[in-house]
Amino acid sequence: MDFKRTDFPPDFLFGAATAAYQIEGHAFGGAGSTHWDTFAATPGNVIRAEDGARACDHYHRFEEDLDLLKDAGMDAYRFSTSWARLMPDGRTPNAQGLDFYDRLVDAMLERGLKPFQTLYHWDLPSTLADKGGWANRDTALYFGDFVDVITDRIGDRMHAIATINEPWCVAYLSHFLGHHAPGLRDIRATARAMHHITLAHGIGVSRLREKDMTHCGIVLNFDATEPLDASPAATVAAQRQDAIFNRWFIEAITKGTYPAEALAGFGAHMPDNWQDDMAQISQPMDFLGVNYYTRHQVAAAPDAPWPHTASHEGPGSKTQMGWEIFPAGLHHFLTRMARDYVGDLPLFVTENGMAWDDKITGGVVNDPARAQFISDHVLATKQAIADGANVQGFFYWSLLDNYEWAFGYEKRFGMIHVDFDTLKRTPKASYHAFKSAIAR
């Protein structure tokens, strides 16, 4: 890889990220059903109808996985704490779940890994989904109680706590595009989810502050968005898509407003008196997590319903997901966040990575495309720091091949290969290359 640790400030953190439902094995330890179990059991939603019941069996193998992080010389580990494991019905604590995260966090600290917790990475308990999930305001209030329960147990040992992972996916991808649980295509449910997930962040921060937590933030995903051509119509369409995808959450959280271009579609469907929540939503936070993967080019689609846009993959080479590889987009968002929204607040690249159809040959996985991808995105991060963004860490997505949501186990994002029959872990060549880069 074309970077080394000493290219970065001395306390810059290198790490890898995962999420509970994607790796743990949700069938173990008394966890409750989540809306992903329901979504996966519905024909056509997930490749081969796969779910997270066993996943990587991290629940039983976490010591081995944390050893691999440590052996790579990583500084930090971004993980999530499953609401449905900790409160199977969404309301009642599960002692086994609390004990699991207690052991997990101690095992991180024993290995010198800084714990970066994400409170909600999509495992909504089915009992709350039954009551309308994120379209129901009560879910945001119950989320606050969940924050109390897990923070009382492990908050004392967290290096950083993010409330929500990728609220755009929670709301728009899941309620408007229908690609993720609960698989709705309903603008009214979307508008409500867009607001209630943002409110859950605000409530989460309030609860964390009541418990004297520092290092509280959120993880947002960003998608490089450009007009498909030079026409004024494409420019306006790209601005509208940018408002929905890239501006809605960061403007709510830092300025207490939603972009007018997005409210033009959602306004009629927003919950009553949503404006009254904006002060709680926009309270100060301590860091911003940036997830970045790819770029889209946008055309106007005047005959389609609002938002009247058609989105196309960019022209560059693609990953196994079909996502364009476009490192300049990461530099764009890191510098844009600093310039337009957060100033000098610490930024972390909380996810960046690529899927590839990795195969084990002769006991090794040769994945030069991934090593190049990581190198190029870490260098884009370095350039963003040089251009004034206060970026303090980079987390690769993902430590392990895992349950890639609607794509089941087919798409491999890991630095470590997982054989989903034997569950054997095999570090890929990119793992070894990353290890030597951050040792230099």
Residues at the interface with ligand FCB (CB under 6 A): 19, 22, 165-166, 169, 221, 291, 351, 397, 404-405, 413
Least distance in angstroms from the C-beta of 28 to ligand FCB: 20
Of all helices (H) and strands (E), which one includes residue 151? helix 137-154
Q: Is 351 a catalytic residue?
A: yes
For residue 166, indicate whether it is catalytic: yes
Q: At what angle do helices 58-71 and 95-110 cross, to 10 degrees?
A: 20
Give the dihedral sign, CA 189/194/195/196: positive
**Shortest separation between residue 365's beta carbon and ligand FCB, angstroms:** 18
Comparing CB distances to ligand FCB, the nearer of 82 and 291 is 291
Residues 114 and 108: their CA atoms lie apart, in Å, by 7
Smallest gap, in angstroms, from Cβ of residue 91 to ligand FCB? 25
**125, 32 Cβ separation under 8 angstroms:** yes
Those residues whose C-beta lies under 8 Å from the C-beta of residue 306, and which sit 6 or more positions away, are 187, 264, 265
Nearer to ligand FCB, 19 or 330 (CB): 19
| d(C-alpha 94, C-alpha 85), whole Å | 7
Q: How far is the CB of 358 from ligand FCB (least distance, A)?
A: 15
- Residues found in the chain: 440
Yes or no: say if 325 and 315 are a contact pair by the CB < 8 Å rule. no
Residue 165 or 254 with smaller CB distance to ligand FCB: 165
Cα–Cα dist 392/346, whole Å:
6
Q: How far is the CB of 10 from ligand FCB (least distance, A)?
A: 29
> Which of 36, 101 has the CB closer to ligand FCB?
36
Query: Which one, 127 or 291, has the nearer CB to ligand FCB?
Result: 291
Comparing CB distances to ligand FCB, the nearer of 22 and 198 is: 22
Active-site position among 24, 166, 251, 324: 166
Catalytic pick among 251, 324, 351, 404: 351
Q: What are phi and psi of 298, to 5 degrees?
A: -120, 135
Distance of alpha carbon 342 from alpha carbon 147, whole angstroms: 24
Query: To the nearest whole angstrom, how small is the minimum distance from the Cβ of residue 389 to ligand FCB?
Result: 21
Cis geometry, peptide bond prior to residue 398 (ω within 30 degrees of 0) = yes
**Could you give the angle at which helices 187-210 and 137-154 cross, rounded to 10 degrees?**
30
**Residue numbers annotated as active site:** 166, 351
